[in-house]
Structure 1
Amino acid sequence: MAEPDPLKPTYVYKLTPSTTPPPSPLPSILPVSPLDRSSGFIHLSTSLQVLNTLKFFFPSDPKVFVLRIPYSGDVEKNIRWEDPKAEVCGPRGGEGMFPHLYNGLKLGEDEVDSVRVLERDLDKEDGWEEALKNAEGWLVY
């Protein structure tokens, strides 16, 4: 049996705001965010990138839905690792390249293995850090 590749993630993650919860059960194709539609791909994060994605794109959200997607099969084949655009959210040093899914904007029940809700205390500056502690063991590289 081959050794796991420490540079290859086990999962990638899609974050969606509480205003657009994923339906349950998941359909074969989820609605696409305006950002993803205008970009022509689905923006994803590794577990190591989730915290800053929350801070930059969900600064005032009380909760966010996180979709866990196995990095294998068709998903892996259709991922491009790309630099984030600094003009959108400023430099994101140390985070490396981000996974972008180029598969015709299809993300649904066949790609997502589970969904988690992250809730934070809006009165705390480190609210997202605290919320991520509740996802330890689920949010893995």
Structure 2
Amino acid sequence: MTSSDPPMPPHIYKILPSAPGSPIPAALAASDLDRTDGFIHTSTAAVVPTTSRLFFHAAPELWILKLSTAQLARDGARCLWEGPQGCVHVYAADAGLVSLGAANVLDVMRFVRRGEEAWDEVFGREDARAWLVDA
């Protein structure tokens, strides 16, 4: 974090193209991209619509994990602003990947597109705006 970065929000979000399991397992499998890059890609609430549009444009539904940045820090993870505003990368204290799962996932919500609806429209709905919060 540099002096020009905003403070880390209390929640960040991991976007999944399929259901994570119910109940949330102790450890979720990391995505291929996360394994390749060596960190967990997450978004702030404000950037979830853009990330969804850019990287999950063809998905009919998405599952969003709400993560606590404070809990991740207690688990030894480092949450860092990187790339465009709203991109938060989560690094493990060691050379491995942070394990996301029941201990650090606060909530999960399924979002479904109606017909040709764009992700910006889905996340503009009142229920989505109430759940996706940065503060």
TM (norm. structure 1) is 0.78
- Cα 1:46–1:40, aligned 2, differ >3 Å: closer, same or farther? same
Q: How does 1:99-138 map to 2 (within 5 A)?
A: 99-103=88-92, 104-124=97-117, 127-132=118-123, 133=125, 134-138=127-131
Q: Structure 1 regions of 5+ residues with no counterpart?
A: 1-5, 84-94
Give the structure 1 partner of residue 58 of structure 2. 60
Structure 1 SS opposite 2:98: coil
> Could you tell me the percent identity over the aligned residues?
35
- Cα 1:17–1:137, aligned 2, differ >3 Å: closer, same or farther? same
TM (norm. structure 2) is 0.81
2:86 and 2:106 mapped to 1: Cα distance? 23
Shift of residue 27 of structure 1? 1.4
Shift of residue 36 of structure 1? 0.5
1:44 and 1:14 mapped to 2: Cα distance? 5
Shift of residue 55 of structure 1? 0.5
Letter in 1 for 2:130: G
Structure 2 SS opposite 1:114: strand
CA contact (8 A) 2:47 2:86 kept: no
- Of residues 20, 25, 31 in structure 1, which corresponds to 2:23? 25
Shift of residue 121 of structure 1? 2.4
Shift of residue 117 of structure 1? 0.5
After superposition, the CA RMSD in angstroms is: 1.8
How many aligned positions are there?
121
1:135 and 1:72 mapped to 2: Cα distance? 23
Deviations 1:87-109 (A, max 9, x none): xxxxxxxx515111112231101
Q: Structure 2 regions of 5+ residues with no counterpart?
A: 1-5
Letter in 1 for 2:17: P
* Structure 1 position 73 matched with structure 2 position 64: no
